[in-house]
Amino acid sequence: MIYLDYAASSPLCEEALQTLMTMSRDVYANASSLHDGGGRAAHILERSREFVAGLIGGDPKRLYFTSGGTESNILAIHALARGLPEKRRHVLVSAMEHHSVKLAATGLVELGYEVELVWPDAWGRITPEQIEPLLRPDTGLVSVQHANSETGLIQPLAEIGAFLHERGILLHTDAVQSFGKVGFSVEELEVDAVSISSHKVQGPKGVGAVYIRPGVSYVSVYPEALHEGSFRPGTVNVPAIAAFAAAAVHTCGLIEQRTEQYVSLRKYLTERFRECELPAYLVTDRLLGNALNILPHIAGCAGLGYEGQYVMLECNRKGLCISTGSACSSGHQAIPDTLSALGLSEGEGHSFFRISFGPDTTAQHLDRLVQALHELAQTK
Task: For the chain, give the percent of residues with pLDDT over 70.
Answer: 95
Task: State yes or no: pLDDT of 205 exceeds 80.
Answer: yes
Task: State yes or no: pLDDT of 327 exceeds 90.
Answer: no
Model confidence band, residue 182 (pLDDT cutoffs 50, 70, 90): very high
Distance, in Å, from the CA atom of 248 to the CA atom of 62, rounded to the nearest integer, reads: 18
What mean pLDDT value characterizes the chain? 93
Q: What is the mean pLDDT of residues 26-42?
A: 95
Which residue in 252, 276, 315, 328 is the catalytic one?
328
Distance, in Å, from the CA atom of 82 to the CA atom of 77, rounded to the nearest integer, reads: 9
The count of structural domains within the chain is 2
> What residues are paired with 353 via a beta bridge?
301
Task: State yes or no: pLDDT of 291 exceeds 70.
Answer: no
Per-residue CA distances from 354 to 25, 147, 240, 278, 350 (Å): 38, 15, 29, 16, 12
- 45 and 20 together in one domain: yes
CB 119 within 8 A of CB 342: no
Which segment of 202-216, 219-233, 326-340, 362-376 scores lowest on mean pLDDT? Answer: 326-340
- 275 and 323 together in one domain: yes
- 237 and 294 together in one domain: no
- 279 and 340 together in one domain: yes
- 216 and 100 together in one domain: yes
Domain that holds residue 164: 14-252
The pLDDT, as a whole number, for residue 31 is 94
Cβ-based neighbour number of residue 86 at 10 Å: 7
- Give 328: exposed, middle or buried? Use CB within 10 Å, 0-12, 13-18, 19+: middle
Task: State yes or no: pLDDT of 301 exceeds 90.
Answer: yes
First to last CA, the chain: 26
Which segment of 130-134, 284-288, 300-304 scores lowest on mean pLDDT? Answer: 284-288
Amino acid at 53: A
Task: State yes or no: pLDDT of 326 exceeds 60.
Answer: no
Task: State yes or no: pLDDT of 292 exceeds 80.
Answer: no
Known active-site residue 252 = no
Q: What is the mean pLDDT of residues 268-273?
A: 96
| Residue 45, SS3 per DSSP | helix
DSSP 8-state code for residue 173: E
**Domain boundary residue, one of 252, 269, 304:** 252
Model confidence band, residue 134 (pLDDT cutoffs 50, 70, 90): very high
